[in-house]
Chain A
């Protein structure tokens, strides 16, 4: 697992910690206005504001040590500290990690410094060099020479103290400079008051490790008691009205045992007007009352029972259903189903708590409630029919416990029963294959129009082949035009190729998958017409079903490629340059779009060059010559020259001997493929006048390995992530792709999405992929992400987030998008902002706006909007609202109140006119397709779509990608910038990846769910773009984004 929270002990220090630029001024011009008393770490309430706690030392230093972003507001300090303490502070239940040890040391040092400064108005003063001793002792440093020596420098005396001094950012160079020049050194020890949630005593008294008695305070309580820390964090993230209600009605002491439940599942709990807001609304109230055992009108009792029941599973259920979209929520919360599905969820293992582990268990629960496909009647869409699923369910490869549980449901008579079983399967300790099959196949079927649903036989086939080929299914979901025979043909070819002899299997799988990848690109870019998708699919696959030898494979690969060219250009053949032009996108008309198209093509060419791949033209020419030679015709001399190119590739100058590689990278380093290429017989056979037919065939077979690398290279190059380095600096990267699983024993299937092998293994020849080309855009982004350098000191690239964010910028291309659409994207966002602004003074409008927003925002965020509207502060809040939210707001509002949007402002008026005059171009479906992002993990498809779901929580395993895939905002925002700059839609193809890379560099987040940090980074990247700071992107100079 690659979760940041599971990084090694020191990682917590650096998850985000950093400084956005200049250090905090070590010596402000005016002395700080803090008394000695204030510097003492203590709580201090003020008459007008909330209670506060004084953090010892500078806030910046404390945030560094506590692994908290420098960009947060004071009210976030204690919640985030609490989070980091319970997540990073302890191994097991009580053993402190190095993170916590260092944090404690820092607090101790900060208090010592404060005591030292207390003598002089909270300013550390070293008037002369010879007075530096007491300060240096606290800091753990010593002077290297006597005072007066201009070369005096500071050396570490006590490494433990010295480490804290450095890590916390004490201005050591300034002190050193003043000692060298014998000038007075002054450093204000500014104490940092931060708001406390409720009252300090609520927490200190509740803690089993009460420490107030020996002079310690809330800070010490949080550091000492992970249980308190977790509850503090959980309640801080709820909407403030609700958390205060829980504190006053239930009390911290009684809530303490449920800190974990509230942490995982508390954010959707919302108490308003004396009632708990329920998923399903009033209609579901009786059912919830029965399930929970308390009335929502008695919120304290309801919430307490909700938290306590079934070890947190009822709270998990409540949370999941609250996140479901309108149609799904209505289905799941129908009174009869609500209990039935809950039973399904609870029954398989009532003894296992819903709070076990670092991440919430049963992550598939969220996929079920957000992605269950419903038909036009609001009932579940069952791919095939129930009988099919009866068979599939009870043959599933589930754990014994799950099989036993499922056996009780043998009388499967209704779709609801099937859904109930799905809920149960979501509890499987290891991801349930049956559930995966259902969700994937229903995604495939759900996109098909009525009358073209999957046949039961195809559903059975898909289920039967899922274990081996499931990672390839996103293609079927993305292209619903593929018929049942086309799907069957894929399996036919794939199985035959998998069964080829080992010496040619890697080439066979590679060429086939690479051509399939090219088909997907051309289909997605609409270069193969929709009406021809099914035919073209079959035509490019068919040649592979007849492969018997390596020479056949070469011929099949070539014929297949020609078919793709034929379907997309009407020409029978194309050169490599022409294929690259094709991949770069459809032919463009405007000069600007042509230039962008050329840039994209050149980028692909640069990867092909840096990978030093033999040109397709060369390969095919040699292939032709060999075919003619077999007919007795001697090839012309130039072909012999070309054949020499197959031997031109030189391995990088070796650093390791073969023996060392065997010893230090056993099983990882494997360049058999390249070695074979470098020793191929092709030039010899071509030249030899006496070459036999068999030798000629063998030579053609050897060409297949070159063909594989070149067509695979085209796929890699097309999906190059911004800032990629491996693609340009490891010439073995493409060649090393292990399609046949030769380098990895435990590969589940050679058709699985690629995994990275060789990372962090210096003798392994560099990281490479093992597996198929499925999910290639994500895999490349995953591998290349760490070449993006964060702008902030020691901030890291979030592995759970960044690959998906990059993928969302790489896959979409905007060649077929009209300027009108681009403008509409900007207008929707601006109209959403206008709706919010107008709602400030228009309560009736607010009553329409807020229910829409609550369908996308979590209650704490809706609470913020509500407060801002009430207090007239909405303009200040707008930059913190996600572009996808304002977009959604305007789109839904236009849908629900089509006559009212024009009245809210200029953008609304213009948008309403566009909707009226160009409904085909600016409707939701069209814009969702053109400006959406791929969701390969959540929706099992690389098809572009705006999902309209609430932000997903962090989860483990495959579901770890849900969170990032639930963020649709960046492309919408980049589109708005492009529209404002007067750029063409095609320009987005260049802008989006670069701006996304810039945004990633700027992310300065404390935790995965730090959405405000992402929004800040996105806006900052946009500002750089607008101010022309990106050399590669030069927008028309404009002002700030219109609000």
Chain B
């Protein structure tokens, strides 16, 4: 009898929390945990920086906290994802593993369908005072980038200064996105990390491959959330962050550090463009990256670690020794018992 492995992958386990309740306290509720899938965007380049294509699932070795994980799905570039296993390995850790939507997707037919499509690209454009001088050229470059994203599934275009403006929500209609780009107005303070957090949260609500491309001049003078929390959220949500900035940002060491490190942590890249032509080159490079990303997923094996879980992806075999692998560095399961709009991490744990 044929069976759809992805319908059966939602396994409910009930277990008692490990911690012992003090006398007089309310009994812990039994918790159900939905076993989910961790999804990775992986870029592989050779020593010259060229993309390595044609790799097979068996060429990859995935470890989570040193535990070898078995790939569940695999895709290269914009090819449809294919299943590699019929039976997922549930996480039966006593510490509740949990999920940001997108970080660990439930393996449903919808998820697979989402994986089969191209990436969902969120573009976040800095319209603060810092961008004023190069504003029009930046718009030109972004417009070109959007036109060039022929294979991306859907694109969203947001802009930010002190507040986030969702100029065009996720759509396949390129002309709508282009109109949104040209509708932006420059000015006000810059709250990059606030805006990036909100953008990531929007991206995390979707299934499938997601990337955020930020065009920013760098300085942030208004955010209330720190970049490390935003970077963690991106990693938890499995969203790769790419950042294009200008030389102005390069002169500002804080932004340089954040852009380099945050993008590296999420499996993305940072670019510092000298001029508008350089900006276009950077966009072209991101587009190339999207076309060559491998998409892998796995079901975490039992892992008692309730904190940060480090992910490493390596290539198997000597001939790939000098290749570089870029993907997110890990994630943090976020057990949270209570569903709120503000907390899309919720949903995995269901109080009985």
B284 in the interface, Cβ–Cβ < 8 Å?
no
Pick from B25, B163, B307, B339: contact of A788, CB below 8 A.
Answer: B163
Inter-chain contact A10/B129, CB cutoff 8 Å:
yes
Pick from A8, A655, A1032: contact of B258, CB below 8 A.
Answer: A655
Pick from B21, B132, B230, B235: contact of A10, CB below 8 A.
Answer: B132
Report the minimum CB–CB distance from A109 to chain B (whole Å): 14
| B24 surroundings in chain A (CB, below 8 A) | 573, 575, 617
For A572-599 the 0/1 string (1 means CB < 8 A from B) is: 0101111000000000000000000000
| A172 surroundings in chain B (CB, below 8 A) | 182
| A621 surroundings in chain B (CB, below 8 A) | 22-23, 25
| B159 surroundings in chain A (CB, below 8 A) | 794
Among A77-85, A392-400, A638-646, A841-849, the stretch that binds chain B is A638-646
Inter-chain contact A729/B225, CB cutoff 8 Å:
yes
Inter-chain contact B19/A641, CB cutoff 8 Å:
yes
Inter-chain contact A760/B223, CB cutoff 8 Å:
yes
| B231 surroundings in chain A (CB, below 8 A) | 653, 655
B253: nearest chain-A partner, CB-CB = A664
A470 in the interface, Cβ–Cβ < 8 Å?
no
Inter-chain contact A762/B255, CB cutoff 8 Å:
yes
Interface set, chain B 156-197, CB cutoff 8 A to A: 159, 161-167, 175, 178-179, 182-189, 191, 193-194, 197
B139 in the interface, Cβ–Cβ < 8 Å?
yes
Inter-chain contact B233/A729, CB cutoff 8 Å:
yes
CA of A64 to CA of B339, assembled, Å: 40
| A11 surroundings in chain B (CB, below 8 A) | 129, 187-189
A723 in the interface, Cβ–Cβ < 8 Å?
yes
Pick from B19, B191, B343: contact of A728, CB below 8 A.
Answer: B343
CA of A765 to CA of B198, assembled, Å: 18
| A723 surroundings in chain B (CB, below 8 A) | 342
CA of A11 to CA of B161, assembled, Å: 10
Inter-chain contact B346/A606, CB cutoff 8 Å:
yes
| A725 surroundings in chain B (CB, below 8 A) | 194, 197-198, 225, 342
CA of A654 to CA of B308, assembled, Å: 12
B265 in the interface, Cβ–Cβ < 8 Å?
yes
A724 in the interface, Cβ–Cβ < 8 Å?
yes
Inter-chain contact A13/B139, CB cutoff 8 Å:
no
Inter-chain contact A167/B194, CB cutoff 8 Å:
no
A670 in the interface, Cβ–Cβ < 8 Å?
no
- Known A-B contacts A13-B187, A23-B183, A166-B184; the reply to A730 vs B163 at CB < 8 A is no
Report the minimum CB–CB distance from B88 to chain A (whole Å): 27
A1032: nearest chain-B partner, CB-CB = B341
Inter-chain contact A655/B257, CB cutoff 8 Å:
yes
A517 in the interface, Cβ–Cβ < 8 Å?
no
Interface set, chain B 117-168, CB cutoff 8 A to A: 127, 129, 132-133, 135-137, 139-140, 143-144, 147, 159, 161-167
B12 in the interface, Cβ–Cβ < 8 Å?
no
- Known A-B contacts A578-B26, A760-B221, A764-B226; the reply to A793 vs B185 at CB < 8 A is yes
- Known A-B contacts A8-B187, A167-B186, A797-B162; the reply to A156 vs B140 at CB < 8 A is yes
- Known A-B contacts A13-B187, A14-B161, A730-B225; the reply to A650 vs B307 at CB < 8 A is yes
A610 in the interface, Cβ–Cβ < 8 Å?
yes
For B312-352 the 0/1 string (1 means CB < 8 A from A) is: 00000000000000000110101111111111011000000
| A789 surroundings in chain B (CB, below 8 A) | 163-166, 198
- Known A-B contacts A609-B335, A793-B185, A797-B163; the reply to A656 vs B257 at CB < 8 A is yes
Pick from B137, B165, B167: contact of A156, CB below 8 A.
Answer: B137
What is the total number of residues of chain B having a CB less than 8 Å from a CB of chain A? 86
- Known A-B contacts A652-B228, A783-B224; the reply to A796 vs B188 at CB < 8 A is yes
What is the total number of residues of chain A having a CB less than 8 Å from a CB of chain B? 88
B288 in the interface, Cβ–Cβ < 8 Å?
no
| B306 surroundings in chain A (CB, below 8 A) | 648
For B40-71 the 0/1 string (1 means CB < 8 A from A) is: 00000000000000000000000000000000
| B187 surroundings in chain A (CB, below 8 A) | 8, 10-14, 794
B262 in the interface, Cβ–Cβ < 8 Å?
yes
Report the minimum CB–CB distance from A1017 to chain B (whole Å): 15
The listed residue with most B CB atoms (<10 A of its CB), out of A617, A767, A787, A790, is A787
A500 in the interface, Cβ–Cβ < 8 Å?
no
CA of A140 to CA of B19, assembled, Å: 67
Interface set, chain A 770-797, CB cutoff 8 A to B: 783-784, 786-790, 793-794, 796-797
Inter-chain contact A793/B165, CB cutoff 8 Å:
yes
Inter-chain contact A606/B225, CB cutoff 8 Å:
no
- Known A-B contacts A605-B337, A641-B19, A797-B163; the reply to A162 vs B136 at CB < 8 A is yes
Inter-chain contact B182/A173, CB cutoff 8 Å:
yes
| A655 surroundings in chain B (CB, below 8 A) | 226-228, 231, 257-258, 261-262, 265
B106 in the interface, Cβ–Cβ < 8 Å?
no
For A813-845 the 0/1 string (1 means CB < 8 A from B) is: 000000000000000000000000000000000
For A746-766 the 0/1 string (1 means CB < 8 A from B) is: 000000000010111011111
A169 in the interface, Cβ–Cβ < 8 Å?
yes
Inter-chain contact B257/A660, CB cutoff 8 Å:
yes
The total number of A-B Cβ pairs within 8 Å is 239
A429 in the interface, Cβ–Cβ < 8 Å?
no
Inter-chain contact A609/B338, CB cutoff 8 Å:
yes
| A347 surroundings in chain B (CB, below 8 A) | none
Report the minimum CB–CB distance from A291 to chain B (whole Å): 45
- Known A-B contacts A17-B185, A793-B185; the reply to A765 vs B226 at CB < 8 A is yes
| B139 surroundings in chain A (CB, below 8 A) | 156, 166
CA of A766 to CA of B178, assembled, Å: 34
A622: nearest chain-B partner, CB-CB = B22
Interface set, chain A 546-595, CB cutoff 8 A to B: 573, 575-578
CA of A758 to CA of B341, assembled, Å: 26
CA of A652 to CA of B332, assembled, Å: 10
Report the minimum CB–CB distance from A200 to chain B (whole Å): 30
Inter-chain contact B185/A786, CB cutoff 8 Å:
no
B108 in the interface, Cβ–Cβ < 8 Å?
no
| B135 surroundings in chain A (CB, below 8 A) | 163, 166
B291 in the interface, Cβ–Cβ < 8 Å?
no
CA of A794 to CA of B163, assembled, Å: 8
A155 in the interface, Cβ–Cβ < 8 Å?
yes
The listed residue with most A CB atoms (<10 A of its CB), out of B166, B194, B258, B262, is B194
B99 in the interface, Cβ–Cβ < 8 Å?
no
A800 in the interface, Cβ–Cβ < 8 Å?
no
Report the minimum CB–CB distance from A644 to chain B (whole Å): 9
| A610 surroundings in chain B (CB, below 8 A) | 334, 336, 343, 345
CA of A169 to CA of B224, assembled, Å: 31
| B332 surroundings in chain A (CB, below 8 A) | 650
B335: nearest chain-A partner, CB-CB = A609
CA of A98 to CA of B186, assembled, Å: 12
A598: nearest chain-B partner, CB-CB = B338
For A850-879 the 0/1 string (1 means CB < 8 A from B) is: 000000000000000000000000000000
Report the minimum CB–CB distance from A791 to chain B (whole Å): 9
A720: nearest chain-B partner, CB-CB = B342
| B18 surroundings in chain A (CB, below 8 A) | 641
B134: nearest chain-A partner, CB-CB = A159
| B189 surroundings in chain A (CB, below 8 A) | 7-8, 11, 760
Considering the complex of A and B, which 10 residue pairs feature the smallest CB-CB distances, nearest first?
A10-B187, A621-B22, A638-B20, A767-B224, A760-B221, A766-B226, A606-B338, A602-B338, A617-B25, A162-B136
8 A/B residue pairs, CB under 8 Å, sorted by A:
A159-B136, A159-B137, A166-B184, A610-B343, A723-B342, A762-B193, A762-B258, A787-B194
Binding site for B on A (CB under 8 A): 7-14, 17, 19, 23, 64, 98, 140, 153-156, 159, 162-163, 166-167, 169, 172-173, 176-177, 573, 575-578, 602-603, 605-606, 609-610, 617-618, 620-621, 624, 638, 641-642, 645, 648, 650, 652-656, 660, 664, 723-731, 756, 758-760, 762-767, 783-784, 786-790, 793-794, 796-797, 1032
Contacts beyond the supplied A610-B345, A617-B22, A653-B329: 9 A-B pairs with Cβ under 8 Å: A14-B185, A173-B179, A603-B340, A606-B337, A650-B332, A725-B194, A762-B258, A767-B223, A794-B184
